[in-house]
Amino acid sequence: MLPEAISLLRRLVATNSINPLFPGIRREDVIGGETACGAMLADHLSRFGFASETVAHDPERKNTVMRKSGTGGGRSLFINGHVDTVAPFRPSEWLDGNPWSATIKDGRLYGLGSTDMKSGLVAAALAASALDAAGVRLKGELQIHAVVGEETMSHELGTSSVLDAGFGGDAAIVVEPTSQPRPLSVTAVSAGNFNLQIDVKGYGTHSGNRGPSIRAGGEGNAAGVNAVEKAMLVVQALQQLEQEWGITKSHPAFPAGIFSMVPGVFHGDAGVPSVGYLAESATVGYLVWYPPNERPAAIRAEIENHVHHASQLDSWLRHNPPVFRWESHWPVFDTSTDHPLIQSLVADRADVLGALPAGLAQTHSFNAVCDASFIAEKGIPVAAMGPGDLRCAHAVNEFVQLTEVSDCARILARTMMRWCGVA
């Protein structure tokens, strides 16, 4: 990997570009980091014939678009990557006690955003600069988009904003980390997910009423209902449904069991039980992963119907049903593995890393979500392929193998030539 590319990656990782909408983050503490990362990439690529422009739905969070015109007669391609990161977990435990150290050790570069996903953008820049250095001119236009907002699904501030501004191409590659199950896997499909909040109503009374509210001979619901305990019945019902999903929800591109309902926030109204009353309300939050071969509306209906039927078995929930708040939806992307873009990436990966053994799948699922979904919604064929392993993304001591960055650049350079054509 070229020293200047390593230097660029280190500077990007050393820049705090936490998404200012991330929970618990003060905007004034982090604003400007995303814009600075885009400017670094633009400055680097300006030496290789790229012009740059910015798109800013939020004036303080600029998306950077780097463009190099083709000679004509070829297909256009754009590379997409986000520059925002999550907030670091347990900062003191990171290497050198600093999530932005950009330390290199044993061939790995450590730091927040190294895998997710600044290294992917550097790989794209390295590929483009290598073509320029080799005197290769593409027929089709090449663009690289450094976008904001992905970590909080703020695509309307980032990727969608850029596309709506008129930038884009005939195909796209999102350089998210795909080195799982094997290095630089070509991925053509992702699951969808929902952010779901379920509100459960109780009947708040003095905690001394708990006995008569639940024991034989007492007044039952008239004495009080603890919403937290009723919410636990909802959780148990969805755990049962999730077990069923392990059999009923499948897709040939995905490992078994990935389609699931992950409970997160669980809370009752403040003060229980310290101020001595039964909870009046409770909320449980879920991240719901569903397969790309099922309709989102059908998934929502299945969950609501299952909880409804379970509620009929409870004397309180039967008359006070849980309320569902479907707060966000991240759609799937699903590109045919026969599409020329996917076939090109598969062939170019084989050229660089060697062909996969016979019998192994040539493409894989992306077992998270990314902005490829919002690119696909615009009707643009898209794939995800980039350096880094999702298993260390967002984690303490996130890192990327430097060899993967250079290997990714070699694959991308080949795909740029194959897709766009060489003059």
- 193-330 under CATH 3.30.70.360, yes or no: yes
- The amino acid sitting at 140 is G
Q: Dump pLDDT digits (tens) for 40-83.
A: 999 999 999 999 999 999 999 999 999 999 999 999 999 999 99
State how far the Cα of 52 lies from the Cα of 45, in Å rounded to an integer. 9
What residues does each domain of the chain span? 3-190+332-420, 193-330
Q: Dump pLDDT digits (tens) for 177-219.
A: 999 999 999 999 999 999 999 999 998 888 888 888 889 888 8
Q: Look at residue 9 in the predicted model and tell me its pLDDT.
A: 98
State how far the Cα of 240 lies from the Cα of 211, in Å rounded to an integer. 29
> Please, are residues 213 and 219 in contact by the beta-carbon 8 Å criterion?
yes
Q: Dump pLDDT digits (tens) for 370-383.
A: 999 999 999 999 99
Q: Look at residue 271 in the predicted model and tell me its pLDDT.
A: 47
> Please, are residues 25 and 151 in contact by the beta-carbon 8 Å criterion?
no
Which 8-state DSSP code applies to residue 138? Answer: B
> Please, are residues 194 and 304 in contact by the beta-carbon 8 Å criterion?
no
> Please, are residues 203 and 278 in contact by the beta-carbon 8 Å criterion?
yes
> Please, are residues 238 and 311 in contact by the beta-carbon 8 Å criterion?
no
Q: Look at residue 275 in the predicted model and tell me its pLDDT.
A: 52
Topology adopted by domain 3-190+332-420: Aminopeptidase (3.40.630)
Q: Look at residue 359 in the predicted model and tell me its pLDDT.
A: 85
Q: Look at residue 214 in the predicted model and tell me its pLDDT.
A: 87
DSSP per residue over 210-241, as a string?
HHHHHSTTS-GGGG-B-HHHHHHHHHHHHHHH
Q: What are phi and psi of 30, to 5 degrees?
A: -130, -10
Q: Look at residue 276 in the predicted model and tell me its pLDDT.
A: 65
- Helix, strand and coil content of the chain, in percent to the nearest 5, comes to 35, 20, 40
State how far the Cα of 50 lies from the Cα of 66, in Å rounded to an integer. 6
Q: Look at residue 277 in the predicted model and tell me its pLDDT.
A: 77
The pTM score is: 0.92
**Per-residue model confidence as pLDDT tens for the chain (423 residues):** 789 999 999 999 999 999 999 989 999 999 999 999 999 999 999 999 999 999 999 999 999 999 999 999 999 999 999 999 999 999 999 999 999 999 999 999 999 999 999 999 999 999 999 999 999 999 999 999 999 999 999 999 999 999 999 999 999 999 999 999 999 999 999 999 999 999 999 988 888 888 888 898 888 898 899 999 999 999 999 999 999 999 999 999 998 889 999 998 787 765 455 456 788 899 999 999 999 999 999 999 999 999 999 999 999 999 999 999 999 999 999 999 999 999 999 999 999 999 999 888 999 999 999 999 999 999 999 999 999 999 999 999 999 999 999 999 999 999 999 999 999
Count CB atoms within 10 A of the CB of residue 215: 11
